[in-house]
Amino acid sequence: MMRTGWKVLALVGLGALSASCKGFNAAGLTKGDNILGKLSTANTEAKQCTKLHADPSVKEEYALGGALAIHYVQRGHGLMLDGADDALHRYLNVVGKNLAAQSARPTLEWTFGVLDDTSQFNAMSAPGGYIFVTRKLLQGLENEGELAGVLAHEIAHVTLKHAIRQYGATKVKTCELVTYGEAMLAPAWVKALSAGRNGDGTLDLDNEPGLLGYLSEKTIELMEKGNSREQEFEADRIAVELMLSAGYDPQAYQALLAKTEDGGGTFANHPKKKERQDHIRAHVQSLKQPDGDFNGLATTGLRSPPLSPAFAAVRGGSSTRGVAKDRK
């Protein structure tokens, strides 16, 4: 079922992500007959901009997540959508939603998709529960445990609201620029920002797709600098706990990390893979009781099962490595 945010995005299209800032001089919003009076008013209003760093409403989160999802799909050469890929997406969503059900936000409308990108070994997430993995990453998996590891890590970024923190910083900065007259935005956009600043900090982006596009673009600029080291460690810890809750062996996640490359691009701020592996190993150990069992979890049955036959879609049907055979 298409959400309201998706309906707006479908109408606006990718052009929303390159919306221009025009048509309004925010300096005109300030009141007072003299420069000092205007500056005092602007300072007061600018302080109120910090309200926009509050957690957005779920409706606002879905709107932002949908916009970022469109960006990922465009950048990732589109989704794998051939008829033969349906089974793959169903399988991905079964594994992903099982993990998400163990998370701190099980009621989000989690959506998992495969980008037809054969050059980047990568996965990404967006607020609202949008998770994408690239075709190249899937081609490198050995078993379902490794798939669970990468999905659990991205689920953790969503539940920890890492992208939402960057979005909040974007809203505050935009509001401050508008308040001091250093940015020119459409009048309707300024009105929406003012309503959020003077209210509870949330924005109605479904009714302002242009503002949604602008804020999404600025948020993407921050996200492309990468998460911090601590955010990556934090997501790894949560990923391990989700895997254990769903019955997967965390060692499969360690094996997945061994296939990643250190540094460069969006990974420049990430910890080295050995650091992450050591951190995960220590966290798993910390979760164990003296007798070796996990607190609140059973160690019996931890597994890394073979991948579904649906994975033939990402391998062109030429390899069955780590793929279970169909049983008839």
pLDDT digits (tens, 9 = 90+) for 58-114: 999 999 999 999 999 999 999 998 776 789 999 999 999 999 999 999 999 999 999
Q: Which percentage of the chain shows pLDDT scores above 90?
A: 64
The model's confidence at residue 294, banded by pLDDT at 50, 70 and 90, is: low
Residue 318 or residue 171, greater confidence: 171
Question: Pick from 240, 227, 237: which is nearest to 271 by CA?
Answer: 227
Q: Tell me how far apart the terminal alpha carbons of the chain are, to the nearest angstrom.
A: 33
The model's confidence at residue 40, banded by pLDDT at 50, 70 and 90, is: low
- The whole-number pLDDT of residue 89 equals 93
Is the pTM for the entire model greater than 0.95?
A: no
Mean pLDDT over residues 212-232, rounded? 92
Beta carbons within 10 angstroms of residue 325's beta carbon:
8
Sort 240 into a burial class: Cβ within 10 Å, 0-12 / 13-18 / 19+.
Answer: buried
Q: Identify the residue whose tokens are 């254990």.
A: 244
Write out pLDDT tens, residues 163-174.
999 999 999 999
* Average pLDDT in the chain: 83
Q: How far are the Cα atoms of 135, 171, 231, 233 from residue 228, in angstroms, in the given order?
A: 26, 20, 5, 9
- The whole-number pLDDT of residue 302 equals 84
Of 124-138, 288-302, 304-318, the poorest mean pLDDT is in 288-302
- The whole-number pLDDT of residue 37 equals 60
Cα–Cα distance measured from residue 198 to residue 316, given in angstroms and rounded to the nearest whole number: 55
HEC-encoded secondary structure of 152-186 = HHHHHHHHCCHHHHHHHHHHHHHHHHHHCCCCCCC
Q: Is the pLDDT of residue 17 over 90?
A: no
β-partners of residue 248 are 303
Mean pLDDT over residues 290-310, rounded? 75
- The whole-number pLDDT of residue 314 equals 87
Which tokens is 327 given? 């049983």
- The whole-number pLDDT of residue 193 equals 93
Cα–Cα distance measured from residue 134 to residue 152, given in angstroms and rounded to the nearest whole number: 15
Of 5-14, 94-103, 223-232, 247-256, the poorest mean pLDDT is in 5-14
Write out pLDDT tens, residues 235-264.
999 999 999 999 999 999 999 999 988 764
Residue 310 or residue 296, greater confidence: 310
Mean pLDDT over residues 43-64, rounded? 91
Question: Pick from 174, 107, 114: which is nearest to 141 by CA?
Answer: 114
Give me the residue spans of the domains in the chain: 7-55+163-223, 79-160+227-314
3-state secondary structure of 131: strand
3-state secondary structure of 63: helix
Q: Is the pLDDT of residue 132 over 80?
A: yes
Strands (E), 120-247: 123-126, 130-134
- The whole-number pLDDT of residue 226 equals 81
- The whole-number pLDDT of residue 264 equals 46
